[in-house]
Each structure stands twice: as structure tokens, then as C-alpha cells.
Structure 1
């Protein structure tokens, strides 16, 4: 072992000892260590002041996220190694001494990496302004590594070379990736919408490493609170709600306890005689058959059979059954036009209306006619997707409805137009028009036998009904159907403007796109009948039977009233209190108005008590109150003894002159031919005035009883008895 100091000079030309080679000893003369340290520091400062060059292939352009910063990493490592000598080299004590007295310099940030990050943030912000999409939080600027201040960092040259070698090896081992394309893909938005699925959108993602990412799908947010798909749970819930609505409707009708109205009594008397004629061949002797505004061979026999079974209650229960079946058909056709939610709302508002409650417990042909109209509408909607020839299935119930009650002609134009409107989304205009043509032509052909078409063409609401002013008719319409009509019109407007909540087609069918014109056409067709009925009564100046005729318009407008109620509640049942408020208001109006309808009119019980006293087996009676005496006094008189003033009298006077109609009734009163004359102030004004004048002028009759309406209206019964 050498005993010399490791730092002692070595003679020139002598070999360097092995132990001294590790200290980087050089030959004499010994260099100035202080000067070397200063030169080394100046070189490091000059290297730091040089502008950094960016490789062309790593330049950031547009939305390129490819800059990996290998050059910046190498320079950062060189900076950290600037103050640390290489392993195995001699420490520069002079340099360390100067560094100890010099103030420490601030770490130099990596401006290249910061610039790239800033450009990435600017590009992402620009794209977010152009199309707002959910963007992940942007990365913070890369702070300079604190290792740059480490005084014992390794040699910058060696570390830089090692970093470049690792980068070259990584690039040669892995396939070159298109970082620019990946950056553009990460922020692109695919605007193409696949018809079979939702729109696929790729949002901006912070991906500085350029790792390929799979595109993700943002599903369309549904604007409905009612899933269009069908399920057993939904079906049972809907059926339960349907049963609840039917229960409420039946309860509202069954609470109406009153004696038979003249129209009901006339129908039952005529029905009994028609039924006896069909079963036993007896002759029809009553003139009340002409009072029935429809075919005497359809509804009257049914009413007569029910009356024979259980009197007036049997006939009213028959009408109640017709009304409940009508509500079920309304639910089904509304569900096929729209959905279950609209269907439930439609029947809920329809079941509490005054016309529904009264007609459902009223022995009149309109109860059966409304059912047949609902059946025709259901058949039209059910066959909307199918062959146009199937539209003929709606013709038989439509023709039968017009034959049962001539007032069903109000709904006939709407039924024909409905065949076109409900088929338009599935067929072109030609096939849809063919459906409407077949439905209308088939109905007219079926009305030809028996002269029903001619009778229907000559029918008017004024026939056999009370006259009224336009103001009174409009006021009654507003009271009985005003709120419901407003709801239906609002539903039509809202539905025409925008389709929401899967408001088209049946839940079990695929959704079919509809245009604004198609929606407006369907809404107008269904709603127009509710406005046509009061307009016809105003035109003819007739207020009688308006409450029954409104049932046709309410039935066809109910689906749009359901739409209006669902729009009022809103998607996902946002405002249920508004729907409940409207329904409760309709319920309160229906309760009050139906009760007033049964109480409206004079006290028929007192009238019948007076007539029972003065009825004789051989007497002849003229009455403007048709049907009551024939029905309730059948045990003490025969139907042919009672003559209706509405049909007139066939009378031959003492001079042999034959009189007909009102002239015959006046002549018979003048001669004192009738035993009792009963006048009703609600009868046609011309007839009532002529008979009143004849009774007063003849001097053969005296007033024995007079009854006014318990509700305070102007109707009055007067009973005149022959001296």
C-alpha cells in the first residue's frame, strides 16, 4: 500500500497509481481549482439561458395532445444534475464554497410543458363554447420539480443522455401512435343519429398520455313519466282504476231517485205495446209510438221488457248497463289513440258529467245510441293500422245508432272523419281517404231499408221538444259542459302544438311519428261534435233534450279532455293538485246538475193523484204530458183513451167535417168531446196557446188543479175537467 497522500503530485512521465485514477488526477502542473469551478458554473448558466428547441414532430397544433415532454424531462433532469457531481469524481470544494455564499436561484419552470397545457385548455374551452358538453376537470399546470434544487443531483449530461436513450427505446418498441388524431377524436361529437338507437356522443376527455379511449353513449333523456312499454303490473293497475271509475259512475246514477219522466213513461208504454205485437200479434193502439224519436222496433221493445220485469227501475238499470259499457269502450279507444294515463283521465272526467250521469239512468233511446256510437268509434280506431276495407266494420254500429235515436246523426260526420284522421299516421292520404269513404258509404247503405235514411234527413231537434231562446240554450250548455269543453279544447291545442308523454298510439305498439297537422286534425275531429250539438239547438231554437244530446259530443271529446288533464298535471306527475282540483270541480258540478235535472219539472205525483180520481173507463183524455197517465194509470184506463196533443186529434164534428192535428184537438175541445184536458207549459208554444184559448172560449171546462215546478222555473201543469 502506498503511503503517499492521495493528493500529492506525481512526477512527470510516471505511471498513475491505480488508487489515484479514481480521483481523476492529472499530470503536473496542478490546475487552478477555483478557476475551473467558476468556468463550470458559467457554462451551466449559459446552457440555461439558451432558448429551448421543440422538435417538429412534437410541436402542438390545434387539438394535439401528443406532447409527451421527453425533451423537457431531459432538460429538467440536467438542471437537477447541475449541482451534483458524477459518481466517483472528486468534489469541487471551491465551487461548493462559492455556492454556499451565493444566494440560491429560483427553480426554473418548464415553460414548454406549461405552454402545451395552456394550449390544451384553450382548445377545450373553445370546443365547450361551440357545443356544451360535460367536460372533465382540466389538469393543472405542471409545477417545476423541487428536485432541481437538490445539491446532490447526478450529472446533467449523463442523465439527459440516459433519458434520450430510454425515449428512443420506447418509441422503437411500441408502434407510433397518432396522438393528434386521438386528441381530435376525444373532443369530436358524432352528430349522426342512428334510427334504431339513441344518439352517440363523445365528450371531451383529459387524456394527456394519448391512451385510446372507447367512445361512450349519452342516452336520450325521456320526456315522459309513463313508460310506453306494457307490463302485467300496469295492466292490473289500469283495470283497477277503471273499476273504481265505473263504481263512482254507478253510484252517481243510482242516487237519482224520482218518478218516471214523461219521456221515459212514453217510451215504456210504446215499448210494451211493441213487444206484445212482436210476441203475440196484438194491435198497437197508443199514439205514443210516434213520440219516440227513433225506430219503434229497436229500443222501445227492450225498455218494455225491462219495465215488465221491474218497472221503471228495470228500464233505468238497463240504461245504466249501457252507460257503463260505453265508459269501458271509451277507455279502450283512448288507450289505443294515446296511452293508459290519458285513458284513465278521460273516463274520470267523462263519468262525472251531468249528461253521463243522467243519460246513464234515463229510460230513453239515447242511452243505447251513445253506446253504439262508442262502439263505432272503437272499431274505427282499432282498424286504423289495417287494410282500408276493414273500416266497414264501423258502419253497422253507426247505422244502428242513427236508427235507434235520430239524434245520433250529430256524431255521424265525426265518425266518418275519424276514419281518416286516425289512419293518417299509418297510411298515405289516398288509403286514409278511402277508409273514410267506405265508412260513410257503408253507413248510408245500411240506413236505406225501412226508410230510415229519409226519416233521418227530415229530423230536427225541435221535433217534440221544448223551444228555447239562444241565450238560455247557451247558458245551459255553459253550465252543463262548459268546463269540460274548455278542457277538451285546451287539450286539442296543446296536443297539436307538441306531442308529449308518448301521446300517440297504443302502449303495446311501436311509436309512430306524427306531424302537427295530423295531430291538429285528430283533435279537431274529436272535439267539434261538442260544439256542433249546442250550435244545432241554437239554430233550431230548441232547448228540450239538450242534456241528452250533449252526451254525443262529450263522448267523442273525452279523449282530448284526458290529454288536457294530463298536460295540466305535467310530466312525472309534477302538479297532481291541479288535476285533482279540476276533477273535483267537475264532480261537484255533475252532482248538483244531475240532481236538479231529476227535480226539474212539476210534481208528477200530485198530478197523477188528481187524474186517478177523475179517470173513467169510457172517458177520453187530451194531455200534453205524454206517457205519465198511460204508464201509471194503466189499471184504470187503457192507453188508447189518452190522446197526445203533440200528435193531434183525428175528429169529425157534428157537421161531418173531418179535422186533423191541432185543428182536430181545438174542434174537439170546442164541442166538449174530451172528459179531461191536461196542459203543460213546456209543450210547443203554438199548440199550448191554441189549446188554452180553446178551453177558455168553449166554456165547457173548469180548472181543478194547477202545479208549478218545485225548482221555481216556469213550467206548470193545469188540469181542466168537463162540467
Structure 2
């Protein structure tokens, strides 16, 4: 502004003249603080992310997986017996909780309704991932975290699976968000996170592995606050959570394993690691990059003016290591568990806790003032394509339609039946048979009962090259009591197979 302009402006002010126009005050950045405008923009974009996630998950479908059928059959047994069924359930989580909820939903809306329940839980998980990321790293990182997590293979897969993993994950991330709230000003606020943390373990045992992560997170998010308040927050969360979990474990008479596996015990560690890398490797790399950028600089250059409490370098290092280590916990569990390990979709537990750092890494990749948006779009599209393709390749349930129709014509209310996956026919034929009429192969009495012709029908659905299936098929062909009724081929994620139904002559 020239000296003459300044002199004229002072003269106008002295004369009391109103200026013809005024230049509005422009904030340095709209992404720095949670203003009303930034909150509205973030929520609208979050709705777009959730819409994409819902579309990707709802495109999957088909008949029930054996694990889904086992969960629903057990839930209907609990309902029919008013909860008197022994607590020995193949599904993850408390046997009398999710299976009963799934059975109630199945009675009203069918299998699709149970899967939609998981979809709603997974959409809620993405929303809580956004909230947790916004609490830790502000709105830009939150949008990136929600966008990346919503298209992961584990998210798309579990989002339409009749399993307790989605509800358990939703409660776990809700507990993480509550843990991060309050900071050092309200240490007792972490007590609100105890209830969802314990419930998450009741829906899915695998979440117990990540509860110590929330304990450390409670201490690291104590800002502003000293070491004393940080330890107090961690203790206030850890002690009641541990006591409730211990009390719940004492009430159970049997321990249920954490979910059904999607891999075979014969898979090599290299093959398992390759599958894990495809399930969430890109998101993990983004989290590592975000952690390195966060340790180097707490805020973007465009937000350095903001009056926001920033943790020191030591606390930033600890937070980055904590969140990046979450997926590695799930990976280690898969590798060290012998035989059938936890299902790969449970890796989403660790990815959900690492998503805030992945969103921060995506934000730093785009740069201050959105200098490189094409890089962020490239990473998002890569995660989207890989997650969509892998999830749909894995979500291929056995097509039991024609086999079930054939069985419906021969089963009776007093028959005795043998199957390698008895839950599938027991679920679809529950109006004609009882669950106790279906027996699983592999029992010591099975060869003797087959030789005596004590089963009215035998249903084999395993892979033809499996040792057990080959032995049973050879035995049935040489058995004078049985003949092959039908053979219906199908394709699953494990490869081509077929349903073979043998009936008595």
C-alpha cells in the first residue's frame, strides 16, 4: 500500500466515512481446527467414504459359509433350548451372545439380514476410525484413514460375513476413541472405554490381543499432562478391564477358538506372509510412512500457527511404534498358531488401529496445501483395487443350493446323517431335521457305523484330493449299503470341489 493511499485512508477514517468495501479475514488453513465449516466438510466426505464401502461389501453374497452355518445353527439351538445348550461353540466370542443375536436376526430377515448387521457394524467401525484419527492427527489424516480402511480386503470381506468379528472390531475401535478423549484434563474419562472394550472380547476373542495397545494409548494421549496423569489413565482403563475379562473367563466352561481359518495347516510361512501382505500390506506401508513423518514433524507447515497441544518427540516415537505394531501382532499370531490359525479377516483388528497413522501418511504424501493430490489418489486406488479383487476372490461360499434341494427330498425327522460339514445342511434343513441328527466325519465310530449301514445318507463336500475325503469315497464305493445319488460341482475359494450325496440302497 503506497504512502498516498495510507494518507487518504486516514483522512477517510478521521472524517467518519464508511469504506466502500472491506476485505474479509481469511483463516490460514481450513483443515487446522475443528471449525463448523471443516466439521461439515469432513462429515460429508465421510458419508461418501461409507457409501463406497457399503457398495463394495453389499456386492458379495451367496450361500452360507460353513462357519456362518455353524454360528447360526448354534444360535437357533440356544433360542430353542432357552440358553441351556453347553457353552462349546465353534464361533468366535461368547457362545450365548453373537450366535443368539445372529439367530434372532436370521429368523426375521434371513442370512442376508445377518450379513447386513455385520455391514452396519463395519460402517460404524470406519466412522470410529475417522473419529479416533481426528482426535490424534486432525481432520485431514482422519479422512485419509477412513478412506484407506474402508476399502481394505479385511474390511470389505468382514463387512458382509455372518460373524462376530465386525461387531467386535467396531467396539474395539469405539473403545480406542473413548480412550483418546479427555487427555490429561479428565483422567477418569477412560472409564467409559471399559464397557466397549470388554464387549468387544465377548463378540470376538481376537480383540483381546489388542487391549494392551489401548492401555498404552491411554497413557500416550494424556496431553497436556505429566507422567503421573498418564500412568493414572492407563491404570484406570487396565484394572477394571482386566478384572471384568477375568471374571468372564471364570464363568465360561469352555474356551472357543478365535474364528475359523481360511488357510490350511500345510501352507508354508512364505505363502501365509504373501497372503497377509495382500490383505493389508499397502495400508501398513502407509502407516509406517506416516509414523516416520510424524516423528520428524508433528504438524504440516501450513498448520504450524495453530494453538494445538503437540506431544514431544519421545511421545511421538512411542505412539508411532505402538500403532504400527498393531498389525504385526495379528501377523505374529497367524504365524505362531499351529494348524488352523485365526481367520485372515481378523487382521482388520490391527489395521483399524494402524489406520490413523496410514491416514497421516496419506496426508503428508499429498503435502501442505494439497500440492500432490495425484499421489494420494494413486495410493487410494491401489488399495481399492487390491482390496476389491482379493475380497471377492476370497468371498466364494460353496454353492449348496442343488445339494440342499436333493437332500430335502430324502431327509426325515428320525433319520441319521453323516457329513463333513454338517452345519450347512443342518442350517438349511432345520425345518425338516434336528441338529442332533447330523454327525461329523472323523469320529472313531464312523468307519464301523458306515460298514453297518447305520446312516441314511452321507454328504461329502470337501476337496476331492483331501486324504479324509478320498478314504471315505473309497469306503462308500466298496460299501454294499450305499449308492451315489448325485454329484454337484461347485467352485470355492479353496478350488473346485463338489457335493456328493450317498444314500442307502
TM range (shorter): 0.7 to 0.9
- Are 1:587 and 2:391 counterparts? no
**Partner Cα distance (2:99, 2:326) in 1:** 26
- Are 1:709 and 2:491 counterparts? yes
Superposed CA deviations along residues 650-687 of structure 1, whole A, max 9, x for unmatched, are xxxxxxxxxxxx3244443344332223344379x897
Indicate if the aligned counterparts of 2:29 and 2:302 stay in contact, CA closer than 8 A: no
- Are 1:678 and 2:442 counterparts? no
| Larger displacement relative to structure 2 (289-298 or 514-523) | 289-298
Indicate if the aligned counterparts of 1:420 and 1:435 stay in contact, CA closer than 8 A: yes
TM-score (norm 2): 0.84
Q: Over alpha carbons, which structure has the higher Rg?
A: 1
**Partner Cα distance (2:250, 2:449) in 1:** 33
Identify the residue that residue 403 of structure 2 maps to in structure 1.
Answer: 607
Superposed CA deviations along residues 122-181 of structure 1, whole A, max 9, x for unmatched, are xxxxxxxxxxxxxxxxxxxxxxxxxxxxxxxxxxxxxxxxxxxxxxxxxxxxxxxxxxxx
TM-score (norm 1): 0.60
Post-superposition shift, 1:700?
Answer: 4.7
1:224-263 counterparts in 2 under 5 A?
A: 226-263=30-67
How has the CA–CA distance of structure 1 residues 389 and 700 changed in structure 2, closer, same or farther, with 3 Å as cutoff?
farther
For residue 416 of structure 1, the aligned residue among 188, 210, 215 is 215
Post-superposition shift, 1:604?
Answer: 2.1
Superposed CA deviations along residues 528-578 of structure 1, whole A, max 9, x for unmatched, are 121221221121245665332112012111101101101110111010001
Secondary structure of 1:643's match? strand
Superposed CA deviations along residues 92-139 of structure 1, whole A, max 9, x for unmatched, are xxxxxxxxxxxxxxxxxxxxxxxxxxxxxxxxxxxxxxxxxxxxxxxx
Superposed CA deviations along residues 12-55 of structure 1, whole A, max 9, x for unmatched, are xxxxxxxxxxxxxxxxxxxxxxxxxxxxxxxxxxxxxxxxxxxx
**Partner Cα distance (1:710, 1:262) in 2:** 12
The one of the two structures with greater contact order (alpha-carbon pairs below 8 A, sep at least 6) is: 2
Indicate if the aligned counterparts of 1:269 and 1:288 stay in contact, CA closer than 8 A: no
Secondary structure of 1:673's match? coil
Indicate if the aligned counterparts of 2:300 and 2:368 stay in contact, CA closer than 8 A: yes
- Are 1:429 and 2:227 counterparts? yes
Superposed CA deviations along residues 189-248 of structure 1, whole A, max 9, x for unmatched, are xxxxxxxxxxxxxxxxxxxxxxxxxxxxxxxxxxx8554233221121111111111111
Post-superposition shift, 1:579?
Answer: 0.4
**Partner Cα distance (2:135, 2:492) in 1:** 46
Identify the residue that residue 381 of structure 1 maps to in structure 2.
Answer: 180
How has the CA–CA distance of structure 1 residues 618 and 515 changed in structure 2, closer, same or farther, with 3 Å as cutoff?
same
How has the CA–CA distance of structure 1 residues 378 and 227 changed in structure 2, closer, same or farther, with 3 Å as cutoff?
closer
**Partner Cα distance (2:254, 2:314) in 1:** 33
For residue 367 of structure 2, the aligned residue among 546, 570, 580 is 570
Secondary structure of 2:431's match? coil
Identify the residue that residue 193 of structure 2 maps to in structure 1.
Answer: 394
How has the CA–CA distance of structure 1 residues 542 and 407 changed in structure 2, closer, same or farther, with 3 Å as cutoff?
farther
Of Structure 1 and Structure 2, which has the larger fraction of its residues in helix?
Answer: 2
Superposed CA deviations along residues 51-100 of structure 1, whole A, max 9, x for unmatched, are xxxxxxxxxxxxxxxxxxxxxxxxxxxxxxxxxxxxxxxxxxxxxxxxxx
Indicate if the aligned counterparts of 2:90 and 2:257 stay in contact, CA closer than 8 A: no
Secondary structure of 1:339's match? helix
1:150-299 counterparts in 2 under 5 A?
A: 226-278=30-82, 284=85, 290-299=89-98
Post-superposition shift, 1:588?
Answer: 1.3
Post-superposition shift, 1:706?
Answer: 5.6
Post-superposition shift, 1:699?
Answer: 6.1
How has the CA–CA distance of structure 1 residues 337 and 299 changed in structure 2, closer, same or farther, with 3 Å as cutoff?
same
How has the CA–CA distance of structure 1 residues 668 and 496 changed in structure 2, closer, same or farther, with 3 Å as cutoff?
farther
**Partner Cα distance (1:465, 1:316) in 2:** 22
Alignment gaps of 5+ in structure 1: 1-223, 649-661
- Are 1:320 and 2:116 counterparts? no
For residue 528 of structure 1, the aligned residue among 321, 325, 331 is 325
Post-superposition shift, 1:617?
Answer: 2.5
Cα-Cα RMSD? 3.3
Identify the residue that residue 356 of structure 2 maps to in structure 1.
Answer: 559
Post-superposition shift, 1:619?
Answer: 1.4
